[in-house]
Protein backbone atom coordinates (compact mmCIF):
# COMPACT_ATOMS: atom_id res chain seq x y z
CA UNK A 1 0.00 0.00 0.00
CA UNK A 2 1.24 3.47 -0.83
CA UNK A 3 0.54 6.81 0.77
CA UNK A 4 0.53 5.43 4.34
CA UNK A 5 3.03 6.95 6.75
CA UNK A 6 5.27 4.36 8.50
CA UNK A 7 4.46 5.77 11.94
CA UNK A 8 0.88 4.66 11.50
CA UNK A 9 1.92 1.11 12.40
CA UNK A 10 2.13 2.37 15.98
CA UNK A 11 -1.64 2.56 15.94
CA UNK A 12 -1.90 -1.18 15.31
CA UNK A 13 -3.05 -2.92 18.52
CA UNK A 14 -1.60 -6.34 17.60
CA UNK A 15 1.86 -4.77 17.41
CA UNK A 16 1.55 -3.45 20.98
CA UNK A 17 -0.11 -6.60 22.35
CA UNK A 18 2.35 -9.09 20.83
CA UNK A 19 5.43 -7.15 21.90
CA UNK A 20 3.94 -6.36 25.29
CA UNK A 21 3.24 -10.00 26.04
CA UNK A 22 6.71 -11.15 24.95
CA UNK A 23 8.69 -8.43 26.75
CA UNK A 24 6.46 -8.59 29.82
CA UNK A 25 6.88 -12.34 30.21
CA UNK A 26 10.63 -11.96 29.70
CA UNK A 27 10.85 -9.29 32.41
CA UNK A 28 8.79 -11.37 34.83
CA UNK A 29 10.78 -14.54 34.24
CA UNK A 30 14.13 -12.81 34.72
CA UNK A 31 12.91 -11.27 37.99
CA UNK A 32 11.70 -14.65 39.22
CA UNK A 33 14.87 -16.51 38.26
CA UNK A 34 17.40 -13.92 39.42
CA UNK A 35 15.77 -12.45 42.52
CA UNK A 36 13.82 -15.54 43.57
CA UNK A 37 16.87 -17.76 43.67
CA UNK A 38 18.89 -15.41 45.88
CA UNK A 39 16.32 -13.67 48.04
CA UNK A 40 16.91 -15.76 51.20
CA UNK A 41 19.75 -18.30 50.93
CA UNK A 42 19.95 -18.86 54.68
CA UNK A 43 16.29 -19.85 54.93
CA UNK A 44 16.52 -22.28 52.00
CA UNK A 45 19.81 -23.77 53.19
CA UNK A 46 19.69 -27.58 53.34
CA UNK A 47 22.56 -29.97 54.09
CA UNK A 48 25.47 -27.64 53.34
CA UNK A 49 28.53 -29.92 53.61
CA UNK A 50 30.86 -28.79 56.43
CA UNK A 51 33.74 -30.81 57.87
CA UNK A 52 34.20 -31.61 61.57
CA UNK A 53 37.70 -32.71 62.55
CA UNK A 54 38.47 -33.98 66.04
CA UNK A 55 42.27 -34.17 66.27
CA UNK A 56 42.23 -33.92 70.08
CA UNK A 57 44.47 -36.50 71.75
CA UNK A 58 42.80 -36.09 75.14
CA UNK A 59 44.54 -36.17 78.52
CA UNK A 60 44.69 -38.25 81.68
CA UNK A 61 43.34 -36.69 84.89
CA UNK A 62 43.35 -38.60 88.19
CA UNK A 63 43.72 -41.89 86.37
CA UNK A 64 40.77 -41.14 84.10
CA UNK A 65 40.79 -40.39 80.39
CA UNK A 66 39.33 -37.00 79.42
CA UNK A 67 38.60 -36.19 75.77
CA UNK A 68 36.91 -32.82 75.39
CA UNK A 69 37.29 -32.90 71.61
CA UNK A 70 35.09 -35.99 71.42
CA UNK A 71 32.51 -34.25 73.60
CA UNK A 72 32.47 -31.22 71.30
CA UNK A 73 32.17 -33.32 68.15
CA UNK A 74 29.37 -35.38 69.65
CA UNK A 75 27.44 -32.34 70.86
CA UNK A 76 27.73 -30.63 67.46
CA UNK A 77 26.59 -33.75 65.61
CA UNK A 78 23.59 -34.14 67.92
CA UNK A 79 22.76 -30.44 67.98
CA UNK A 80 19.39 -29.52 66.45
CA UNK A 81 20.13 -25.79 66.44
CA UNK A 82 20.83 -25.83 62.71
CA UNK A 83 18.19 -28.44 61.87
CA UNK A 84 19.16 -30.01 58.58
CA UNK A 85 20.84 -26.84 57.30
CA UNK A 86 24.36 -28.14 57.93
CA UNK A 87 25.58 -31.60 56.95
CA UNK A 88 28.40 -32.19 59.44
CA UNK A 89 30.93 -34.68 58.08
CA UNK A 90 33.25 -36.35 60.59
CA UNK A 91 36.69 -36.49 58.97
CA UNK A 92 40.31 -36.74 59.94
CA UNK A 93 42.72 -33.98 58.90
CA UNK A 94 43.92 -35.79 55.77
CA UNK A 95 40.38 -36.46 54.58
CA UNK A 96 39.41 -32.86 55.26
CA UNK A 97 42.27 -31.53 53.14
CA UNK A 98 41.32 -33.87 50.31
CA UNK A 99 37.69 -32.73 50.46
CA UNK A 100 38.74 -29.08 50.52
CA UNK A 101 40.98 -29.76 47.53
CA UNK A 102 37.99 -31.02 45.55
CA UNK A 103 35.51 -28.32 46.56
CA UNK A 104 33.39 -30.84 48.45
CA UNK A 105 33.31 -28.78 51.65
CA UNK A 106 32.29 -25.17 52.20
CA UNK A 107 34.04 -25.00 55.56
CA UNK A 108 35.25 -27.01 58.54
CA UNK A 109 35.70 -26.88 62.31
CA UNK A 110 38.95 -28.31 63.65
CA UNK A 111 39.56 -29.30 67.28
CA UNK A 112 43.38 -29.26 67.72
CA UNK A 113 45.43 -32.10 69.16
CA UNK A 114 46.22 -30.30 72.44
CA UNK A 115 42.71 -28.99 73.10
CA UNK A 116 41.93 -31.09 76.18
CA UNK A 117 45.31 -30.54 77.79
CA UNK A 118 45.10 -26.79 77.12
CA UNK A 119 41.61 -26.50 78.60
CA UNK A 120 42.52 -28.57 81.67
CA UNK A 121 45.54 -26.32 82.13
CA UNK A 122 43.12 -23.54 83.03
CA UNK A 123 42.12 -25.50 86.17
CA UNK A 124 45.69 -26.00 87.39
CA UNK A 125 45.82 -24.14 90.71
CA UNK A 126 49.58 -24.62 90.95
CA UNK A 127 50.19 -22.63 87.76
CA UNK A 128 50.24 -18.90 88.56
CA UNK A 129 51.23 -17.77 85.07
CA UNK A 130 48.78 -16.30 82.59
CA UNK A 131 47.12 -19.31 80.97
CA UNK A 132 47.18 -19.80 77.22
CA UNK A 133 43.71 -19.87 75.76
CA UNK A 134 42.86 -23.00 73.76
CA UNK A 135 41.68 -22.51 70.19
CA UNK A 136 39.08 -23.97 67.88
CA UNK A 137 39.82 -23.33 64.21
CA UNK A 138 37.15 -22.47 61.65
CA UNK A 139 38.28 -23.07 58.05
CA UNK A 140 36.63 -21.40 55.08
CA UNK A 141 36.68 -22.38 51.40
CA UNK A 142 36.12 -19.48 49.01
CA UNK A 143 36.99 -21.66 46.04
CA UNK A 144 33.69 -23.48 46.54
CA UNK A 145 31.73 -20.20 46.44
CA UNK A 146 31.87 -17.06 48.55
CA UNK A 147 28.24 -17.15 49.73
CA UNK A 148 28.43 -20.83 50.63
CA UNK A 149 31.72 -20.30 52.42
CA UNK A 150 30.19 -17.39 54.33
CA UNK A 151 27.17 -19.45 55.38
CA UNK A 152 29.47 -22.27 56.50
CA UNK A 153 31.65 -19.82 58.42
CA UNK A 154 28.66 -18.39 60.29
CA UNK A 155 27.26 -21.81 61.22
CA UNK A 156 30.66 -23.23 62.16
CA UNK A 157 31.65 -20.23 64.27
CA UNK A 158 28.34 -20.40 66.13
CA UNK A 159 28.83 -24.13 66.74
CA UNK A 160 32.36 -23.54 68.05
CA UNK A 161 31.20 -20.77 70.39
CA UNK A 162 28.35 -22.89 71.74
CA UNK A 163 30.74 -25.78 72.29
CA UNK A 164 33.13 -23.51 74.17
CA UNK A 165 30.35 -22.28 76.46
CA UNK A 166 29.23 -25.85 77.14
CA UNK A 167 32.77 -26.98 77.97
CA UNK A 168 33.18 -23.96 80.24
CA UNK A 169 29.92 -24.73 82.01
CA UNK A 170 30.98 -28.34 82.64
CA UNK A 171 34.43 -27.34 83.89
CA UNK A 172 33.00 -24.66 86.18
CA UNK A 173 30.70 -27.23 87.75
CA UNK A 174 33.54 -29.72 88.17
CA UNK A 175 36.08 -27.35 89.74
CA UNK A 176 33.62 -26.05 92.35
CA UNK A 177 35.45 -24.65 95.37
CA UNK A 178 38.83 -24.90 93.63
CA UNK A 179 37.96 -21.88 91.50
CA UNK A 180 38.95 -19.53 94.33
CA UNK A 181 42.54 -20.81 94.08
CA UNK A 182 42.76 -20.20 90.33
CA UNK A 183 44.46 -17.11 88.91
CA UNK A 184 42.01 -14.33 88.04
CA UNK A 185 42.70 -14.70 84.30
CA UNK A 186 42.03 -18.43 84.48
CA UNK A 187 38.68 -17.88 86.23
CA UNK A 188 37.60 -15.51 83.47
CA UNK A 189 38.63 -17.92 80.73
CA UNK A 190 37.06 -20.91 82.44
CA UNK A 191 33.52 -19.73 81.59
CA UNK A 192 34.39 -19.54 77.87
CA UNK A 193 37.68 -21.37 77.46
CA UNK A 194 38.13 -21.63 73.70
CA UNK A 195 39.08 -18.88 71.27
CA UNK A 196 37.70 -19.24 67.75
CA UNK A 197 40.10 -18.44 64.92
CA UNK A 198 39.20 -18.28 61.23
CA UNK A 199 41.58 -19.40 58.48
CA UNK A 200 41.39 -20.14 54.77
CA UNK A 201 41.23 -23.88 54.33
CA UNK A 202 42.09 -23.85 50.62
CA UNK A 203 44.03 -20.68 49.73
CA UNK A 204 43.83 -19.45 46.14
CA UNK A 205 46.25 -17.40 44.11
CA UNK A 206 45.79 -13.63 44.18
CA UNK A 207 44.40 -13.44 40.63
CA UNK A 208 41.57 -15.89 41.26
CA UNK A 209 38.84 -13.34 41.93
CA UNK A 210 38.24 -14.62 45.48
CA UNK A 211 37.04 -17.88 43.96
CA UNK A 212 34.88 -16.28 41.25
CA UNK A 213 37.11 -16.47 38.17
CA UNK A 214 35.87 -19.98 37.37
CA UNK A 215 32.27 -18.75 37.22
CA UNK A 216 33.02 -15.68 35.12
CA UNK A 217 35.24 -17.65 32.77
CA UNK A 218 32.53 -20.30 32.30
CA UNK A 219 29.91 -17.57 31.83
CA UNK A 220 32.10 -16.02 29.15
CA UNK A 221 32.30 -19.33 27.29
CA UNK A 222 28.52 -19.78 27.38
CA UNK A 223 27.75 -16.18 26.34
CA UNK A 224 30.30 -16.32 23.51
CA UNK A 225 28.75 -19.55 22.22
CA UNK A 226 25.21 -18.20 22.57
CA UNK A 227 25.85 -14.85 20.85
CA UNK A 228 27.98 -16.46 18.16
CA UNK A 229 25.09 -18.79 17.37
CA UNK A 230 22.92 -15.77 16.65
CA UNK A 231 25.59 -14.32 14.36
CA UNK A 232 26.29 -17.59 12.56
CA UNK A 233 22.60 -18.32 12.08
CA UNK A 234 22.09 -14.96 10.40
CA UNK A 235 25.17 -15.23 8.24
CA UNK A 236 24.28 -18.72 7.04
CA UNK A 237 20.79 -17.51 6.13
CA UNK A 238 22.38 -14.66 4.18
CA UNK A 239 24.84 -17.00 2.43
CA UNK A 240 21.93 -19.20 1.36
CA UNK A 241 19.98 -16.19 0.16
CA UNK A 242 17.13 -16.45 2.68
CA UNK A 243 17.74 -13.04 4.25
CA UNK A 244 19.28 -9.68 3.44
CA UNK A 245 22.49 -8.61 5.18
CA UNK A 246 22.52 -4.97 6.28
CA UNK A 247 25.99 -3.49 6.87
CA UNK A 248 25.22 0.04 7.94
CA UNK A 249 23.43 1.70 5.02
CA UNK A 250 24.46 -1.05 2.60
CA UNK A 251 22.10 -3.95 1.99
CA UNK A 252 23.39 -7.09 0.33
CA UNK A 253 21.41 -10.01 -0.94
CA UNK A 254 22.54 -13.29 -2.48
CA UNK A 255 20.68 -15.56 -4.87
CA UNK A 256 18.55 -18.16 -3.13
CA UNK A 257 20.13 -21.56 -2.58
CA UNK A 258 17.39 -23.86 -1.40
CA UNK A 259 18.33 -25.94 1.63
CA UNK A 260 16.25 -28.09 3.94
CA UNK A 261 16.05 -27.11 7.59
CA UNK A 262 18.24 -30.09 8.51
CA UNK A 263 20.86 -29.08 5.96
CA UNK A 264 20.86 -25.52 7.28
CA UNK A 265 21.47 -26.73 10.85
CA UNK A 266 24.30 -28.99 9.66
CA UNK A 267 25.94 -26.04 7.91
CA UNK A 268 25.55 -23.77 10.94
CA UNK A 269 26.79 -26.41 13.39
CA UNK A 270 29.83 -27.18 11.24
CA UNK A 271 30.68 -23.50 11.13
CA UNK A 272 30.22 -23.23 14.91
CA UNK A 273 32.43 -26.26 15.57
CA UNK A 274 35.20 -24.85 13.40
CA UNK A 275 35.04 -21.32 14.78
CA UNK A 276 34.94 -22.58 18.38
CA UNK A 277 38.65 -23.31 17.97
CA UNK A 278 39.19 -19.59 17.40
CA UNK A 279 36.74 -18.41 20.06
CA UNK A 280 37.95 -20.77 22.77
CA UNK A 281 41.55 -19.78 22.06
CA UNK A 282 40.79 -16.08 22.24
CA UNK A 283 38.76 -16.39 25.45
CA UNK A 284 41.69 -18.10 27.15
CA UNK A 285 44.19 -15.67 25.64
CA UNK A 286 42.15 -12.71 26.87
CA UNK A 287 41.57 -14.07 30.39
CA UNK A 288 44.99 -15.61 31.04
CA UNK A 289 47.35 -13.85 28.65
CA UNK A 290 46.00 -10.30 28.72
CA UNK A 291 44.18 -10.01 32.06
CA UNK A 292 46.52 -12.29 34.03
CA UNK A 293 43.98 -14.73 35.46
CA UNK A 294 45.69 -17.43 37.51
CA UNK A 295 45.39 -20.74 35.66
CA UNK A 296 47.22 -24.03 35.33
CA UNK A 297 46.74 -27.04 33.05
CA UNK A 298 46.56 -24.63 30.10
CA UNK A 299 46.28 -27.28 27.33
CA UNK A 300 43.36 -28.87 29.18
CA UNK A 301 41.78 -25.48 29.85
CA UNK A 302 42.07 -24.66 26.14
CA UNK A 303 40.45 -27.93 25.07
CA UNK A 304 37.68 -27.54 27.63
CA UNK A 305 37.08 -23.94 26.53
CA UNK A 306 36.80 -24.89 22.86
CA UNK A 307 34.38 -27.72 23.61
CA UNK A 308 32.26 -25.56 25.92
CA UNK A 309 31.88 -22.83 23.29
CA UNK A 310 31.01 -25.43 20.64
CA UNK A 311 28.41 -27.20 22.79
CA UNK A 312 26.78 -23.96 23.96
CA UNK A 313 26.79 -22.62 20.41
CA UNK A 314 25.33 -25.74 18.80
CA UNK A 315 22.69 -25.93 21.51
CA UNK A 316 21.73 -22.32 20.83
CA UNK A 317 21.68 -22.93 17.06
CA UNK A 318 19.31 -25.84 17.62
CA UNK A 319 16.85 -23.69 19.58
CA UNK A 320 17.05 -20.93 16.98
CA UNK A 321 16.38 -23.41 14.18
CA UNK A 322 13.47 -25.11 15.94
CA UNK A 323 11.70 -22.03 17.33
CA UNK A 324 12.58 -19.50 14.65
CA UNK A 325 12.28 -15.83 15.61
CA UNK A 326 11.26 -16.53 19.26
CA UNK A 327 14.27 -18.83 19.51
CA UNK A 328 16.59 -16.07 20.72
CA UNK A 329 14.30 -15.48 23.70
CA UNK A 330 14.33 -19.20 24.48
CA UNK A 331 18.13 -19.25 24.15
CA UNK A 332 18.43 -16.26 26.50
CA UNK A 333 16.24 -17.91 29.13
CA UNK A 334 17.98 -21.29 28.92
CA UNK A 335 21.59 -20.09 28.78
CA UNK A 336 21.33 -16.92 30.91
CA UNK A 337 17.99 -16.47 32.68
CA UNK A 338 17.77 -19.92 34.27
CA UNK A 339 21.50 -20.66 34.17
CA UNK A 340 23.18 -17.88 36.16
CA UNK A 341 21.15 -18.30 39.40
CA UNK A 342 21.59 -22.09 39.32
CA UNK A 343 25.30 -22.20 38.50
CA UNK A 344 26.24 -22.69 42.16
CA UNK A 345 28.90 -20.00 41.92
CA UNK A 346 27.35 -17.13 43.85
CA UNK A 347 24.69 -18.96 45.88
CA UNK A 348 25.43 -22.65 46.57
CA UNK A 349 22.98 -25.24 45.24
CA UNK A 350 22.26 -26.25 48.86
CA UNK A 351 20.89 -22.73 49.54
CA UNK A 352 18.49 -22.60 46.57
CA UNK A 353 14.75 -23.31 46.63
CA UNK A 354 13.76 -26.76 45.37
CA UNK A 355 12.73 -25.66 41.87
CA UNK A 356 16.11 -24.05 41.23
CA UNK A 357 17.93 -27.14 42.51
CA UNK A 358 16.03 -29.12 39.91
CA UNK A 359 17.13 -26.73 37.17
CA UNK A 360 20.72 -26.92 38.40
CA UNK A 361 20.85 -30.63 37.59
CA UNK A 362 20.92 -29.95 33.84
CA UNK A 363 21.42 -26.20 33.28
CA UNK A 364 24.55 -25.91 31.08
CA UNK A 365 26.32 -23.12 32.97
CA UNK A 366 26.55 -25.13 36.20
CA UNK A 367 28.06 -28.11 34.42
CA UNK A 368 30.61 -25.98 32.57
CA UNK A 369 31.47 -24.03 35.73
CA UNK A 370 32.15 -27.27 37.62
CA UNK A 371 34.74 -28.31 35.05
CA UNK A 372 36.42 -24.90 34.91
CA UNK A 373 36.56 -24.74 38.72
CA UNK A 374 38.24 -28.14 38.82
CA UNK A 375 40.87 -27.06 36.30
CA UNK A 376 41.57 -23.68 37.91
CA UNK A 377 41.33 -24.51 41.62
CA UNK A 378 41.50 -28.27 42.18
CA UNK A 379 44.34 -29.54 40.01
CA UNK A 380 41.94 -30.80 37.31
CA UNK A 381 40.71 -33.71 39.45
CA UNK A 382 37.89 -35.62 37.83
CA UNK A 383 35.75 -35.97 40.94
CA UNK A 384 36.14 -32.25 41.69
CA UNK A 385 33.72 -31.46 38.86
CA UNK A 386 35.73 -32.06 35.71
CA UNK A 387 34.21 -35.47 34.96
CA UNK A 388 30.72 -34.07 35.48
CA UNK A 389 31.54 -31.20 33.14
CA UNK A 390 32.68 -33.48 30.31
CA UNK A 391 29.82 -35.94 30.74
CA UNK A 392 27.12 -33.27 30.87
CA UNK A 393 28.55 -31.43 27.86
CA UNK A 394 28.45 -34.70 25.88
CA UNK A 395 24.90 -35.33 27.08
CA UNK A 396 23.89 -31.78 26.15
CA UNK A 397 25.35 -32.13 22.67
CA UNK A 398 23.55 -35.44 22.17
CA UNK A 399 20.26 -33.96 23.42
CA UNK A 400 20.63 -30.98 21.08
CA UNK A 401 21.29 -33.27 18.10
CA UNK A 402 18.33 -35.54 18.84
CA UNK A 403 15.96 -32.65 19.49
CA UNK A 404 17.15 -30.44 16.66
CA UNK A 405 17.44 -32.97 13.87
CA UNK A 406 14.34 -34.80 15.07
CA UNK A 407 12.09 -31.72 15.00
CA UNK A 408 13.64 -30.19 11.88
CA UNK A 409 13.43 -33.52 10.04
CA UNK A 410 9.72 -33.60 10.88
CA UNK A 411 9.35 -30.04 9.55
CA UNK A 412 11.02 -31.08 6.31
CA UNK A 413 8.91 -34.22 5.90
CA UNK A 414 5.76 -32.18 6.41
CA UNK A 415 6.83 -29.74 3.72
CA UNK A 416 7.18 -26.88 6.21
CA UNK A 417 10.00 -25.28 4.28
CA UNK A 418 11.22 -21.77 5.01
CA UNK A 419 10.27 -20.65 1.49
CA UNK A 420 7.59 -22.82 -0.12
CA UNK A 421 8.58 -24.40 -3.41
CA UNK A 422 7.26 -22.53 -6.38
CA UNK A 423 4.50 -24.42 -8.19
CA UNK A 424 5.43 -25.76 -11.55
CA UNK A 425 3.77 -23.92 -14.44
CA UNK A 426 0.78 -25.72 -15.87
CA UNK A 427 1.33 -27.24 -19.27
CA UNK A 428 -1.12 -25.97 -21.88
CA UNK A 429 -2.40 -28.26 -24.53
CA UNK A 430 -0.98 -27.72 -27.99
CA UNK A 431 -3.43 -26.11 -30.47
CA UNK A 432 -5.13 -28.56 -32.75
Mean pLDDT, rounded, for 341-349 = 87
pLDDT digits (tens, 9 = 90+) for 196-238: 899 999 898 889 988 999 999 999 999 999 999 999 999 999 8
Residue 390 has a pLDDT of 97
Identify the band that residue 244 occupies on the pLDDT scale cut at 50, 70 and 90: confident
Residue 187 has a pLDDT of 61
> For all residues of the chain together, what is the average pLDDT?
86
H or E, element range at 390: helix 386-413
pLDDT digits (tens, 9 = 90+) for 124-147: 645 555 567 788 999 999 898 888
Mean pLDDT, rounded, for 309-316 = 96
Pick the more confident residue, 312 or 77: 312
Whether residue 156 has pLDDT greater than 80: yes
- Which of 240-244, 267-271, 339-343 shows the lowest mean pLDDT across its residues? 240-244
Nearest-angstrom CA–CA distance, 192 and 194: 6
DSSP-assigned states of every residue in 224-286: HHHHHHHHHHHHHHHHTTSS-EEETTEEE--------HHHHHHHHHHHHHHHHHHHHHHHHII
Percent of the chain with pLDDT over 70: 88
Amino acid sequence: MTGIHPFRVLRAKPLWIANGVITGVLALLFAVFYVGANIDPADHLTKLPVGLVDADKGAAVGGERVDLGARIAESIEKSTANGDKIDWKMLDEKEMKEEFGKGKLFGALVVPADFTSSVLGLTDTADTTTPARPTLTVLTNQSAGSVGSGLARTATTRAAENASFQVGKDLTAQTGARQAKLPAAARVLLADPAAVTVEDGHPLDSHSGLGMTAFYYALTLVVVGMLSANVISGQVDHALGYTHNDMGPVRRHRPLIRATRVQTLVISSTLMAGLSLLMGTLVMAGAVGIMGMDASHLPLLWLYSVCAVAVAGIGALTLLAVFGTPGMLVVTLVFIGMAVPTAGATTPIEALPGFYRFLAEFEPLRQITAGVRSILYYDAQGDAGLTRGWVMMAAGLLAAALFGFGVLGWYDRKGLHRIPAEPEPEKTAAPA
